[in-house]
Amino acid sequence: MDRYSRQTLFAPIGLEGQKSIGDKHVLLIGAGALGTGNAEALVRAGVGKLTIIDRDYVEWSNLQRQQLYSEQDAHEKLPKAVAAKERLQQINSEVEIEAQIADVTTEMLDTLVKKERFDLLLDATDNFDIRMIMNDISQKHVIPWIYGACVGSYGITFTIFPGDTPCLQCLLKTVPLGGATCDTAGIIAPAVGTVVAHQVAEALKILSGNLEDCNRKLVSFDLWKNQYVTLNVEKLRDPECLSCGENRVYPHLSFENQTKTAVLCGRDSVQIRPAETFSGGRSLKGVKELLSSQGIKVEANPYLVAFQAEGHRLVAFQDGRVLVHGTKDIARAKTLYHRYLG
């Protein structure tokens, strides 16, 4: 136990807590900035098994904040899940690590959770489509999960316990959680590290059996503006919530509430159709203002907003549909969509 001696000296964990951590299986969705930070901390802490799912590959812009990756990984465009696993096994060969290169869907996640025994779900994704699927999966299978997000110098995190705390669906009705992305507003590494610190601390409490010490408040901060806020959101739990309420139906696991994608026949384009219009009821004017504020040149008329991004032309309509021109790769189109409009 010398490897974990400093961790077991911490009284709330101790030898029993360390044994508990070593028996646990964590599902981590996303291997970007938050994902790599969470993964490395948990592997160093001696978690029993870590399953990582990510659909993307390593790019040069990742290296500023995604701590597991090297220039060689970016040069070879290695899938993040693969590169992360290779590095993590070098850090702690005792931990069982499973890496999947995949775009998370309802069917895929539901099947995986039924097959495996997960003790915790960790959010390190970059879009609310997947987060809402995670939220409903968590409620359906009664598995705690930890929401986390950051952009610029801002970060937010919340630990969700099915049957105890409000779920993400409850919070979305009251707390503004969406907005700009790292690709439009940028991000500084300390914001990532702060969210990771909160997520990993909560994870270690859960995995070591110290549930009474978990923070049931929503935490947000802005490191640049020297702001730190904790919100008691207990009263936001909605008994009529469709995800966690008395008559729950898990709406984000149903087909009609999922984002649909299709390659357009005869065109080098992908159409993305979300379940709803732009999140939060954003108008086309709001989309234009958001993009323009990030220095993106936008063309607009009363019917659509269009702009160029990473060699592709994106066209957004008020009903939420987005055409991504210049590719037939659905995964690539979805990545661009979530980066700039999701």
Structure tokens at 223: 């490191």
By three-state DSSP, how is residue 325 classified?
strand
Distance (Å) of CA 190 to CA 37, 161, 184 = 11, 27, 18
- Secondary structure (3-state) at 221: strand
Write down the catalytic residue from 150, 167, 170, 182: 182
Q: How far apart are CA 331 and CA 64, in angstroms?
A: 24
Is 182 catalytic? The answer is: yes
Q: Distance between CA 80 and CA 36 in Å, rounded?
A: 9
Dist. CA 331–CA 52, nearest whole Å? 18
For residue 257, what are its two tokens? 């509430």
Residue 206, burial from CB neighbour count under 10 angstroms (0-12, 13-18, 19+): buried
Report the SS3 class of residue 207: helix
**Do 199 and 158 form a contact (C-beta atoms < 8 A)?**
no
Active site amino acids: 182
